[in-house]
Amino acid sequence: MPTRLKLFVMMVLQFFIWGAWLPLIFGYLPSLSFTPGEQATILNAFPIAAIVGMVFSNQFADRRFAAEKFLAVSHLIGGLAMIGLAYTREFWPFAGLMYVHCLVYVPTISITNAIAFAAMKDAQKEFGIVRMGGTIGWILAAWPFIFLFVDWNAVSAANPQGVVAWLETAFQNPLTGEAAKSARASSYLVAGIASLLLAGFSLSLPHTPPRASARPAWAVAFGLLRHPFVLVLWLVAFVDAFIHNCYFNWTEVFLGSDAVKVPSNWTTAVMSIGQVAEILTMAVLGLVLQRLGWRWTLTIGVLGHAARFFVFAYFPQHAWLVIAINVLHGICYAFFFATVYIFVDTYLPKDIRTSAQGLFNLMILGGGALVANTWCGPIKEHFTTKAPAVGNPQQIIETVDWNSLFALPMYLALGAAVVVALAFRPPLRPLAADVVAAH
């Protein structure tokens, strides 16, 4: 298999794992009767793993072990933990398995980037195409759930004739209640199997040996924050990551609410529209960087969030527009997050490649996600009113002020875009390893 194809398949499996369970977990945890605090504890496993991995896992990948072998062991452990989650319903076992999975999975996002960049000749031209595999993997993980969330007993009872009628009947009968909860549990089994497949496939990836050095790679990476352009991008990455995770925390519930009324078996498919668009943006990312440069490409990526939340906030009654605006997710991800990863590999020293990627994942997957997972629940609760149903005082109706809720990340995105446009000024030449060491 050609090297670029191997890297592409690596990205497909890497993000298939994540995409199989993340979009559904925000609706799955409440169905297990976990309290808001317990839900936050589980959701924060991912960002906490990014913070821990910055000091430990990335250090091992840079200084101790070949990256592809580290990747194989990580996915073996993470896959077994994910399979265990499919059969776990109690809080502490569930939380424990999620932390095990995340502690070994999150660092592999930096490691797969490092393996890809080490094997590339021109990252600006090649990374977008290779990383497109991750987008396709996320999409492949989302669309099968359209059929997993179908009430097949109802379809069988209707006895539709012909393929078109069969599909129409299937889409009109989504699962509800306990049946929907069981279907969500299957996402962990699917993710676990994919993780075990990647564990085996990792051993065929290009050999990426560690680079010995007396200085810890994580310490050198943190030293990069002395440079203003690195610090500005690092802080904006935190804000953008918070905004990005607001989308995942609120959107599935928003789509299924009375404001938009998307059926339960279609919410993940609607959210994956952004990943479909991401394929195109990844394909043209190299050209966009060449034409617009780092600063304006990053600025457009942040503005994509503002535009999407503007529609969510002010036009929820137009379901078609809410669904269509998800195409901007491709711009949000490719023009900001993927561009950050390319910039880091282009401008920062190669001997700390994994730790340099981890420095930004500390914000992208760690700090921003940690704050979002901790506060998105209380923020949504603040904009939610509860009242007894008319004629049935025992039933409580919750109404969310979606306008005020989505306006918050919209204005944050506008502010972050202004900071990038005005304050991000990278030098003409990349930082050399000896320059970093001098600091």
Tell me the pLDDT tens digit for each residue of 381-399. 999 998 887 777 777 778 8
Coil, strand, or helix at residue 204? Answer: coil
Of the listed ranges 37-46, 214-223, 269-278, the least confidently predicted one is: 214-223
Query: How far apart (Å, rounded) are the C-alpha atoms in residues 175 and 182?
Result: 10
Query: How high does pLDDT run on average in the chain?
Result: 86
Query: pTM of this prediction?
Result: 0.78
Question: What is the arithmetic mean of pLDDT over 69-81?
Answer: 95
Which DSSP helix (H) or strand (E) runs through 117?
helix 91-119
Owner of token pair 């090649």: 126
Higher pLDDT, 346 or 350: 346
Tell me what pLDDT residue 249 has: 86
Q: Is 45 in contact with 98 (CB distance < 8 Å)? A: yes
Contacts of 325 (CB under 8 A, 6+ apart): 307, 308, 311, 312
Task: Return the CATH number of 3-438, one of 1.10.10.10, 3.30.70.2740, 1.10.760.10, 1.20.1250.20.
Answer: 1.20.1250.20
Confidence of residue 170 (pLDDT cuts 50, 70, 90): confident
pLDDT (tens digit per residue) in 282-298: 888 989 999 999 999 99
User: In the predicted model, is pLDDT for residue 181 greater than 70?
Assistant: no
Confidence of residue 56 (pLDDT cuts 50, 70, 90): low
Q: Nearest-CA neighbor of 409 among 383, 438, 439?
A: 383
Owner of token pair 């200084």: 63
Tell me what pLDDT residue 259 has: 85
Q: Nearest-CA neighbor of 145 among 179, 187, 173, 182?
A: 187
Residue 249 corresponds to which amino acid? N
Higher pLDDT, 436 or 60: 60
Contacts of 230 (CB under 8 A, 6+ apart): 224, 348
207: exposed, middle or buried (Cβ count in 10 Å: 0-12, 13-18, 19+): exposed
